[in-house]
Amino acid sequence: MALHLAYRWFCKLDLNDKVPHHSTFSVNRLGRFRESEILRHIFERVVATCMAAGLVKGEGFAVDASVMEANASRYHGKAPDELDWSDAQRQKLAVAEYLAGLEAEAQVQEGGDSRGSGSDGKPTAAPDRKSPKVISPSDPSSAWTAKANKRVQFGYGLNYLIDVEHAIIVDVEATPARTYDEVASTKTMIERTEQRLDLKPDWLAGDTAYGTGKLLAWLLGKNITPHIPVWERYSPPDGMFSRGDFTYDAERDLYVCPNGRPLRTSGTVHDSRVRNYLSQPGDCRACTLKQRCTRAPFKKIARDINEDARNHARSLKGTPEFERSSNARKKVEMRFAHLKVQHGFERMRLRGLTGARDEFHLAAIVQNLKTMALRLLGPPTKGTCAAIA
């Protein structure tokens, strides 16, 4: 570091000045820099500069997430009930942050005071997802994942929200590498982009993971058209009746089966997500179509409480606008590919969710600056490259 001119320039050190001990930088990063959210400010400043340069259209956004391997051994995962934190472990930043997050979640669930919570210092909402089965003792906020057809590992989800015009990253969020958290972060990013940058898209493109009734309904409620394939929980085997063979009667709130019999609901919402519509076993026993309908004594159809939003999203599929958005969505995948292939960023150096936030913000800043330079100045010439090298 003593001979690195860029570090000296950044730290305002003259050529003869003594470079402070390396721990000084770490302490400042973990304390002053994180508390002041300096990386977030720099990121937003870069996006604002891109906007001023006309590189952000604000019409269509795309969202996606990519797994980054955590700085944690995949051989040392433990079941939650096996974990017994020692005092020394509790002192470690990543563990302290995780335990503070758990405590905050518990407070929210009990309806108590949620101040002083999780990783980013904000109260965390009570999640309706399942608890993890394996936890890393060294980086417990990371998630045990085999996503993206990779080997099983601990990882964080790098979530990008991009403006599809020039693939400028308009927001970035760190989550554990779990689909539930990644989908939930979409709301956070869209709301924050609207509040901080006064940007709200007309449409949003995403892959099937984002096609949940909850998110689709939320997007429609905000007047954002979801160009997102609907996530279907179950597809029947060949030859069996599909969901489309049952007609929903909105007026009577029941389904009518291919044999003309009703499937009714008690109105109970299961898993905060669906209502079940059931046929009468007596009707099914006497039915000649039963072989093609169900092997159970009666037929059950689970209807999402946001089924209207899902139907609306289904009706958009196949339109020219939807197809164009699906193609534009690949730009966000390209962002991840460049980050991993060109910048070699596949594994975290820092631990904890705040560590992931720092690294992901830095990555997004660098990628946006590169795009801005490329769009405004053009590709570097051979002479420039030689001079830089």
User: Three-state SS across 83-125?
Assistant: CCCCHHHHHCHHHHHHHHHHHHHHHHHHCCCCCCCCCCCCCCC
CA atoms within 13 A of residue 89's CA, in its CB half-sphere: 12
For the four alpha carbons of 89, 91, 95 and 96, in that order, the dihedral sign comes to positive
**Least Cβ distance, residue 277 to ligand SF4 (angstroms):** 10
- Contact between 299 and ligand SF4 by CB under 6 A: the answer reads yes
CA atoms within 13 A of residue 98's CA, in its CB half-sphere: 24
Q: Which is nearer to ligand SF4, 178 or 299 (CB)?
A: 299
Q: Comparing C-alpha atoms, which of 66, 102, 64, 70 is closest to residue 83?
A: 102
- Contact between 308 and ligand SF4 by CB under 6 A: the answer reads no
Q: According to CB under 6 A, which residues from 242 to 281 bind ligand SF4?
A: 257-259, 261, 279
- Contact between 303 and ligand SF4 by CB under 6 A: the answer reads no
Q: Which is nearer to ligand SF4, 239 or 318 (CB)?
A: 239
The length of the chain is 389
**Least Cβ distance, residue 278 to ligand SF4 (angstroms):** 9
Euclidean distance between CA atoms 182 and 228, whole angstroms: 15
Q: Which is nearer to ligand SF4, 275 or 312 (CB)?
A: 275
Q: Which is nearer to ligand SF4, 37 or 283 (CB)?
A: 283
> Of 290, 312, 314, 317, which lies in the binding site for ligand SF4, with binding defined by CB under 6 A?
290
Q: Which stretch binds ligand SF4 (CB under 6 A): 78-86, 202-210, 284-292, 337-345?
A: 284-292
Euclidean distance between CA atoms 143 and 197, whole angstroms: 31
Q: Which is nearer to ligand SF4, 54 or 258 (CB)?
A: 258
Q: Which is nearer to ligand SF4, 123 or 262 (CB)?
A: 262
**Least Cβ distance, residue 265 to ligand SF4 (angstroms):** 14
Find all residues with CB under 8 Å of 294, minimum gap 6, and list them: 284, 300
Tell how many helices (H) and how many strands (E) occur in the chain.
Answer: 14, 11
**Least Cβ distance, residue 357 to ligand SF4 (angstroms):** 50
- Contact between 301 and ligand SF4 by CB under 6 A: the answer reads no
Q: Which is nearer to ligand SF4, 197 or 289 (CB)?
A: 289
Query: What are residue 372's phi and psi, to 5 degrees?
Result: -65, -45
**Least Cβ distance, residue 308 to ligand SF4 (angstroms):** 23
> Of 103, 120, 283, 346, which lies in the binding site for ligand SF4, with binding defined by CB under 6 A?
283
Q: Taking the mean position of all CA atoms in its chain, how far away is CA 93?
A: 24
- Contact between 356 and ligand SF4 by CB under 6 A: the answer reads no
Q: Which stretch binds ligand SF4 (CB under 6 A): 59-67, 193-201, 290-298, 351-359?
A: 290-298
Q: Which residue has the tokens 């020692």?
A: 86
Find all residues with CB under 8 Å of 238, minimum gap 6, and list them: none
If one counts every other C-beta atom within 10 angstroms of the C-beta of residue 32, the result is: 10
- Contact between 369 and ligand SF4 by CB under 6 A: the answer reads no
Give how many residues touch ligand SF4 by CB under 6 A. 13
> Of 70, 224, 293, 332, which lies in the binding site for ligand SF4, with binding defined by CB under 6 A?
293
Find all residues with CB under 8 Å of 330, minimum gap 6, and list them: none
**Can you give the binding site for ligand SF4, defined by CB under 6 A?**
257-259, 261, 279, 283-284, 287, 289-290, 293-294, 299
